[in-house]
Amino acid sequence: MRLFLRYLKEKRTTLFLYMVTVLFFVSVGSLYHIENMEKLLYAALLTATVWLIVLAGEGFRYVKKSRQLEMAYHHFTHSGELLFPKDRSGQLQEAEGEIEAAQDYDMAQQAFLALVCEAQEKEKQQWEEKNAERGDYYLMWTHQIKTPILAIKLLLDKPGLQEKDLFLLREKLLQVEQYAEMVLTFQRLESISADLVLQSYSLCDLLKQAVRKYSLSFINKSLHLDLPDMERQILTDEKWFVFCLEQLLSNSIKYTVKGGISFRSREEGERVYLVMEDTGIGIRPEDLPRIFEKGFTGYNGRLEKKSTGIGLYLCRQIFTHLNVTVRAESSQGQGTAITLGIPSARRSPKS
């Protein structure tokens, strides 16, 4: 009824002119042919009937087109698809909004086209930003991967490799593997939600899996490790969570010259809190709030000249999908502590 009334409103000028024409016709006829007044009124009634039939037919077609436009509008707002299959059109319900408030069909059509153009412009802008982001990262990654590859080549050229050189060689190969994993993770980050498999895991087992990968780095730098047995069950995705642990561990090892890395945990309510603490060089207070930003290397990264500023950024993005909170505390020259708040697989009873 709303659309049909809108149709009549659009045709109000035509209807008004018709009524004025009939009025003139009857008025003039009544002045000159008074005896034929009934015939004139009958003719006016016939023409009115024909007009009403035509008006009703056009109105039904107008209502049908308007409903199709509104359904396409609502489908586009919900799914971003311009066209939709016929079997789904019946599932779309009319709702109040800008297109329903349109005064005529042209205005409704313009509202829909404006929405489509705005969405396409926004999508184009997002695509350009992501494309530029990928380009920057792959360029940086290309330069970063050259360092361990060059080191491997130099080690392989040395005659009579010693055990220490073999350790260094394995460590450089580990760096290549780490960089390769980072670029693959960066590529898969947009579709991470479809790849998550949340299950109950032993926190201690996942930590051992990450530590085992960097055992050579601990040996080469003579760092100690304090990893007590933790009977904690967490709800997470093994692949993505271990990747983040490896990134955090790699950072700690990189900036720890002497001493070591220790882990401890506690369980509070529905979360398990894991604290990873090192005895490294620490982080400057002004850099601490920005260490999880994309591309931010800070003072330590500029000293190291090998930091990409991507590892911690990836961790923050992945932790968000895993519902894991992350907090960093540090004192310059005294080390850094990273605290993770992980969903517990054993929910505590509500008090």
> Please, which residues have CB within 8 angstroms of residue 218's CB and are 6 or more apart in sequence?
211, 224, 225, 253, 260
Mean pLDDT of the 66-75 span: 70
Cβ-contact 232, 267 below 8 angstroms: yes
Choose the weakest-confidence range: 12-16, 62-66, 111-115, 267-271.
Answer: 111-115
Q: Report how far apart the first and last C-alpha atoms of the chain are (Å, whole number).
A: 55
d(CA 309, CA 297): 5
* pLDDT at 5 (0 to 100): 78
User: What 3-state DSSP class applies to 331?
Assistant: strand
* pLDDT at 318 (0 to 100): 92
pLDDT for residue 86 is more than 50: no
Mean pLDDT of the 130-138 span: 70
* pLDDT at 300 (0 to 100): 59
pLDDT bucket at 44, cuts 50 / 70 / 90 = confident
d(CA 310, CA 146): 17
* pLDDT at 99 (0 to 100): 55
DSSP H helical ranges for 192-329:
192-195, 203-213, 215-220, 238-254, 298-304, 311-321
Measured between alpha carbons, how far is residue 347 from residues 187, 200, 207, 272, 350 in Å?
34, 12, 21, 10, 9
Share of the chain above pLDDT 90, in %: 25
What value, to the nearest 5°, has the Cα angle with vertex 46 and ends 42 and 52?
Answer: 140
Mean pLDDT of the 133-148 span: 69
User: Which residue type occupies 156?
Assistant: L
pLDDT for residue 96 is more than 50: no
d(CA 183, CA 62): 54
Question: DSSP label at 35?
Answer: G
pLDDT bucket at 118, cuts 50 / 70 / 90 = confident
pLDDT for residue 157 is more than 60: yes
* Residue 42 buriedness (CB in 10 A; 0-12 / 13-18 / 19+): exposed
Report the run of H or E that residue 225 belongs to, with start and end.
strand 224-226
Over residues 172-217, the pLDDT tens digits come to 777 777 777 777 777 777 778 778 889 999 999 999 999 998 888 8
Cβ-contact 168, 178 below 8 angstroms: no
Pick from 165, 146, 158: nearest CA to 220: 165
Mean pLDDT in the chain? 77
